[in-house]
Amino acid sequence: MNDLLYRLNRRATAYLLRNEQIISPQRKIVTFTFDDAPSSAFKNGGDILINHGIAGTFYLSLSFLKGQTNSNSYFNINDLRTCISQGHELGCHTYNHLYFKDANNYNQILGDIRKNQISLEESGLGVKFENFAYPFGAQTYNAKKVVSGFYNTCRGIYYGENLKKGINVGKTDLNSLLAINLYEESNQLSNIYLLLEDFRKYGGWLIFYTHDVQEKYSQYGCSPAFFESVLIKCIDLGLEVMNIKSALAELKKDWSQ
């Protein structure tokens, strides 16, 4: 679909297919997530979290698993085994990393989502996807309709400049959660620290996402030192850090009252 149609579709979809809940400002939950995910996310990002006793969420496109045809391999089955044994969560990110602006056919999306689930089942890892992240953060009506039928939460991306607006607080659509990037090239550590200090005052659920975590990071990733600094700041501020699945379980306690 062209840019204008996509923008209209996306804007309208924000008001539709909502799974609305109130996230209390009393909550101060931070979640670290990884998209795709490059091997270094598991080896460095996952290890750093676990060294601090914290679990993250890895949103996977299983076409990136080593051994799949017609695909770049980003990670192998041992990365996934280690990841699960460390207590991290695996989330769905479509099988083929679909960009819904261009791949917006309902049945195509449905088939691709099912393929990711079936691939995970066939891997014999004994876990299933419960949560989802939109590749590139791209949302359309068809995509939201399919994925919201499968998953407890669907995470997007916050695109704006004012990071405070990227926090999930108050009335929140669980089918379109906001998330803030940890891209070292474009997002300064000092800005993230300021955000976290504000967050401690104003509360809610703050979700970070990144891709690779390595010394020579891409424009979509960060170094291990950057990643760990953000995590330590969260811990020092007394914020609760947990993965998507645990955060949802925690927040549900508020919603059931």
Indicate the SS3 state at residue 45.
helix
The distance of closest approach from Cβ of residue 51 to Zn ion in the complex, given in angstroms and rounded to an integer, is 25
The distance of closest approach from Cβ of residue 164 to Zn ion in the complex, given in angstroms and rounded to an integer, is 24
* Category of 170 on φ-ψ map: left (φ > 0), alpha (ψ -120 to 50) or beta: left
**Which strand (E) or helix (H) includes residue 94?**
none
By C-beta, is 182 or 239 nearer to Zn ion? 182
By C-beta, is 64 or 227 nearer to Zn ion? 64
**Which single residue brings its beta carbon nearest to Zn ion?**
35
38, 45, 56, 135: which one binds Zn ion (CB under 5 A): 135
By C-beta, is 35 or 228 nearer to Zn ion? 35
- Please give the Cα distance from 92 to 120 (Å, whole number): 10
The distance of closest approach from Cβ of residue 33 to Zn ion in the complex, given in angstroms and rounded to an integer, is 11
The distance of closest approach from Cβ of residue 37 to Zn ion in the complex, given in angstroms and rounded to an integer, is 8
Q: Does 38 bind Zn ion (CB under 5 A)?
A: no
Q: Does 56 bind Zn ion (CB under 5 A)?
A: no
By C-beta, is 79 or 169 nearer to Zn ion? 79
Indicate the SS3 state at residue 11.
helix
Q: Which residues of 25-51 are buried (b: 16+ CB within 10 A; e: fewer)?
A: eebbbbbbbbbbbbbbbbbbbbebbbe
Binding window for Zn ion (CB under 5 A); candidates: 80-88, 135-143, 188-196, 219-227: 135-143
The distance of closest approach from Cβ of residue 218 to Zn ion in the complex, given in angstroms and rounded to an integer, is 12
Asked whether the beta carbons of 199 and 205 are under 8 A apart, the reply is no
Please report the beta strands in the chain, taking only residues with DSSP state E, as ranges in sequence order: 20-23, 28-36, 57-60, 89-92, 131-133, 153-155, 170-173, 180-181, 204-210, 240-241
23, 35, 199, 244: which one binds Zn ion (CB under 5 A): 35
The distance of closest approach from Cβ of residue 154 to Zn ion in the complex, given in angstroms and rounded to an integer, is 13
29, 36, 112, 213: which one binds Zn ion (CB under 5 A): 36
Within 10 A of 105 (CB to CB), how many other CB atoms are there?
12
What residues make contact with Zn ion under the rule CB under 5 A? 35-36, 135
